[in-house]
């Protein structure tokens, strides 16, 4: 497989210059009606629910391989396509898509820095209306890299080489905002609301590397540790996963069951 066409975090200027390049596909995770209102020229729409496979109470569980195969094939992507993901909601949906690609072993991908906020807000071209795609065949096999389940976390809770990074709000973390049967957090987890990584003054781009590293260091999140990220449904925390990946962290996993599973399982330990 050849090298990626673009870096993991791609700026709007660089993406505009690359539009039309053979093997490049922009995938927009926005809601279909919003996609038709305005989208990047040549991009295709992939509705977010198509990559989620709820298994109550784990409402954000990764979709089964056949569902992901159908979703990716509908975009016209192949395993060799370089996929640039975007959305108009702070890039969490786009990041969840990239996490999914990582789990199935698709390595050629980028996140549009700031998503549609930066693209449209900074004067880059947009198109309107529906878009037709050419069906491809994308076979999917779900791997084990980049993903953690509750048993994996439970078996590593006392492992000093692992840290659980809870990307929910402080109120969810301390149990004052209860969104499952129980409130609180996974024992030993540290909290960093995913929005702390976003720079709203720069159209929802990630903050500069030194600021992100400082935020992580304050919480004991270092590159020599395995980092497990989660939120309520591994939607918000997928952005943190991509952020960590962009900083060079190599041992990262996303817990797709997240608090919707952990907080609803009375047999799992919690702290508040």
Q: Are strands 44-45 and 82-86 parallel, antiparallel or unpaired?
A: unpaired
Binning pLDDT at 50, 70 and 90, where does residue 179 land?
very high
pLDDT at 71 over 90: yes
Query: pLDDT over 70 for what percent of the chain?
Result: 99
Question: What is the C-alpha to C-alpha distance for residues 134 and 254, in angstroms, rounded to an integer?
Answer: 31
Position 3 scores a pLDDT of 73
Catalytic residue among 94, 231, 244, 252: 231
Q: How far is CA 80 from CA 19, 23, 102, in A?
A: 17, 7, 13
Residues 106 and 170 in one domain: no
pLDDT band at 94 (very low <50, low <70, confident <90, very high): very high
Task: Confirm whether 254 is domain-assigned.
Answer: yes
**Whether residue 40 sits in one domain with residue 105:** yes
State residue 4's pLDDT score: 80
- Looking at the DSSP bridge assignments, the partners of residue 83 are 25, 109
Q: Which of 121, 136, 162 is the endpoint of a domain?
A: 121
Place of tokens 């497990």: 228
Q: Are residues 79 and 163 in the same domain?
A: no
Q: Does residue 133 belong to any structural domain of this protein?
A: no
Q: Residues 47, 106: one domain?
A: yes
The pLDDT value recorded for residue 103 is: 97
- What are the pLDDT digits (tens) for 199-233? 999 999 999 999 999 999 999 999 899 999 999 99
Q: Is the pLDDT of residue 1 over 80?
A: no
140 located within any domain: no
Q: Are strands 44-45 and 205-206 parallel, antiparallel or unpaired?
A: unpaired
One domain, residues 71 and 168: no
- Asked if residue 237 belongs to a domain, the reply is yes
Cα gap 154→183, rounded to integer Å: 18
Domain boundary at 87, 121, 155, which?
A: 121
Q: Containing domain of residue 207, as a range?
A: 147-262
Quick check: is 126 in a domain?
A: no
Domain tally, the chain: 2
pTM for this model (two decimals): 0.96
Backbone dihedral region of 26: left (phi > 0), alpha (psi from -120 to 50 degrees) or beta?
beta
Do residues 229 and 102 make contact, with C-beta atoms less than 8 angstroms apart?
A: no
**130 within domain boundaries:** no
167 among known catalytic residues: no
């Amino acid at each position: 497989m050849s090298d990626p066409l673009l870096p993991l975090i791609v700026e709007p200027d660089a993406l505009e210059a690359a539009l039309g390049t053979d093997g490049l596909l922009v995938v927009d995770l926005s809601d279909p009606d919003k996609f038709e209102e305005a989208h990047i020229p040549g991009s295709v729409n992939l509705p977010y629910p198509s990559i989620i496979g709820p298994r109550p109470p784990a409402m954000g569980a990764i979709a089964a391989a056949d569902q992901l195969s159908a979703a990716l094939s509908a975009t016209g992507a192949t395993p060799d396509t370089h996929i640039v993901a975007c959305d108009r909601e702070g890039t969490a949906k786009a990041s969840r898509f990239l996490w999914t690609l990582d789990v199935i072993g698709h390595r050629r991908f980028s996140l549009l820095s700031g998503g549609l906020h930066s693209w449209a807000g900074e004067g880059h071209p947009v198109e309107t209306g529906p878009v037709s795609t050419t069906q491809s065949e994308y076979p999917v096999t779900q791997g084990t890299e980049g993903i953690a389940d509750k048993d994996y976390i439970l078996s590593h809770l006392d492992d000093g080489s692992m840290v659980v990074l809870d990307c929910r709000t402080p109120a969810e973390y301390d149990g004052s905002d209860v969104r499952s049967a129980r409130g609180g957090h996974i024992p030993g987890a540290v909290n960093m609301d995913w929005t702390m990584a976003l720079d709203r003054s720069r159209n929802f781009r990630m903050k500069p590397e030194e600021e992100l590293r400082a935020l992580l260091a304050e919480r004991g999140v270092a590159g020599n540790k395995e980092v497990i990220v989660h939120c309520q449904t591994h939607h918000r925390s997928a952005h943190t996963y991509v952020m960590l990946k962009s900083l060079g962290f190599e041992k990262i996993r996303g817990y797709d069951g997240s608090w919707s599973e952990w907080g609803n399982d009375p047999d799992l330990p919690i702290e508040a």
